[in-house]
């Protein structure tokens, strides 16, 4: 039985003051819910991690980072290591988000190093994979996913991948208001699980959690969560408001009840 996971990617939004306000609001509202044991993860910007960690003390809400660098320390101006994130209170790290691949030169090779660094520092990597609109229209979706997974997971064994989460995020659905239909998402999630079976084994493929990400909102989470291979959501825009993110968690909890 896979535990549902709903993560909020705050991207480059929220000052420290705003992040404290949002996390306090979420802590208060989510406490009132019967979350059915769902893992809820907040991923604020680096600057607000420590403060949000303080807010989340004595709550079961988890903290994640949006990226990391693979060295523990060194002359790498502007970077933040997995070790530093762990110290700041993180237990998760988003790795290979399409915005990092698109704007900051992230490749499968750097993603792979980051996953290894996360695992070595007790962080659960959320590996983001997904095709662009051009790739989907050219019928290359499955090839792109195979490339992201095969190369992103290079050198990782079964025990490693069992400590990870995969997020399928079609690039054309991120921040665009266009969500993949539940059927489109399920088709790809099923493909990813089958690929994991081929790369590892059936048991591993059945245990690994695969989230969907791309314009997830309170209005579409229930239908997505009803799909057999969708184990939660990675939420961008709708994670920036207490009401919408709480509603997403609430609706996901209703589906798994
Ligand atoms: C994301 O940032 O990973 C994301 C899916 O964003 P949005 O929900 O805004 O599409």
Residues marked as catalytic: 97, 169
CA of 64 to the centre of ligand 1 (A): 15
φ and ψ of 161, to 5 deg: -70, -25
DSSP secondary structure string, 189-213? Answer: HHHHHHHHHHHS-HHHHHHSEEEEE
Domain ranges of the chain: 4-256
CATH architecture, range 4-256: Alpha-Beta Barrel (3.20)
CA of 234 to the centre of ligand 1 (A): 7
The predicted pLDDT at position 12 comes to 98
Name the residue with the closest Cα to ligand 1, atom 2.
236
Question: Rounded to an integer, what distance in angstroms lies between the CA atom of residue 214 and that of residue 175?
Answer: 7
Confidence grade of residue 178 (pLDDT, cut at 50, 70, 90): confident
Record the pTM: 0.97
Place of tokens 């790369």: 199
Q: Which residues contact 127 (CB under 8 A, 6 or more apart)?
A: 95, 96, 111, 115, 148, 149, 152, 153, 164, 165, 166, 167
Task: Report the pocket of ligand 1 as residue ranges, CB < 6 Å.
Answer: 9, 11, 169, 174-175, 213-216, 234-238
The predicted pLDDT at position 207 comes to 98
CA of 235 to the centre of ligand 1 (A): 5
Name the residue with the closest Cα to ligand 1, atom 1.
236
Q: Quote the percentage of the chain above a pLDDT of 90.
A: 96
Atom of ligand 1 nearest to the CA of 237: 9
Name the residue with the closest Cα to ligand 1, atom 7.
236
Report the greatest alpha carbon distance in the chain: 49
Query: Which of 216, 220, 221, 248 for mutating ligand 1's site (highest number of atoms within 8 Å of CB)?
Result: 216
pLDDT(124) > 90: yes
């Amino acid at each position: 039985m896979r535990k549902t996971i709903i993560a909020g990617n705050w991207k480059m939004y929220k000052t420290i003051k705003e992040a404290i306000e949002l996390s306090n609001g979420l802590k208060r509202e989510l406490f009132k819910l019967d979350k059915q044991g769902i893992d809820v993860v907040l991923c604020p910007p680096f600057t607000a991690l420590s403060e949000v960690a303080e807010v989340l003390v004595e709550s079961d809400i988890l903290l994640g980072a949006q990226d990391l660098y693979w060295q523990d320390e060194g002359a790498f101006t502007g970077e933040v290591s997995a070790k530093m994130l762990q110290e700041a209170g993180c237990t998760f790290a988003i790795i290979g988000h399409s915005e990092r691949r698109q704007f900051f030169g992230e490749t499968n090779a750097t993603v792979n190093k980051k996953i290894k660094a996360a695992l070595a520092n007790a962080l659960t990597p959320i590996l983001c994979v997904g095709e662009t609109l051009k790739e989907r229209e050219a019928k290359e979706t499955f090839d792109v996913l195979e490339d992201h997974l095969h190369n992103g997971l290079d050198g990782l064994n079964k025990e490693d991948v069992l400590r990870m989460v995969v997020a399928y995020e079609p690039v054309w659905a991120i921040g665009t208001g266009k969500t993949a239909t539940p059927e489109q998402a399920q088709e790809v999630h099923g493909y990813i699980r089958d690929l994991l079976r081929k790369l590892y084994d059936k048991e591993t493929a059945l245990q690994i959690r695969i989230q969907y990400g791309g314009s997830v909102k309170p209005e579409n989470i229930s239908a997505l969560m009803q799909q057999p291979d969708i184990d939660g959501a990675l939420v961008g825009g709708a994670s920036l408001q207490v009401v919408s993110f709480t509603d997403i968690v609430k609706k996901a909890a209703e589906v798994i009840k």
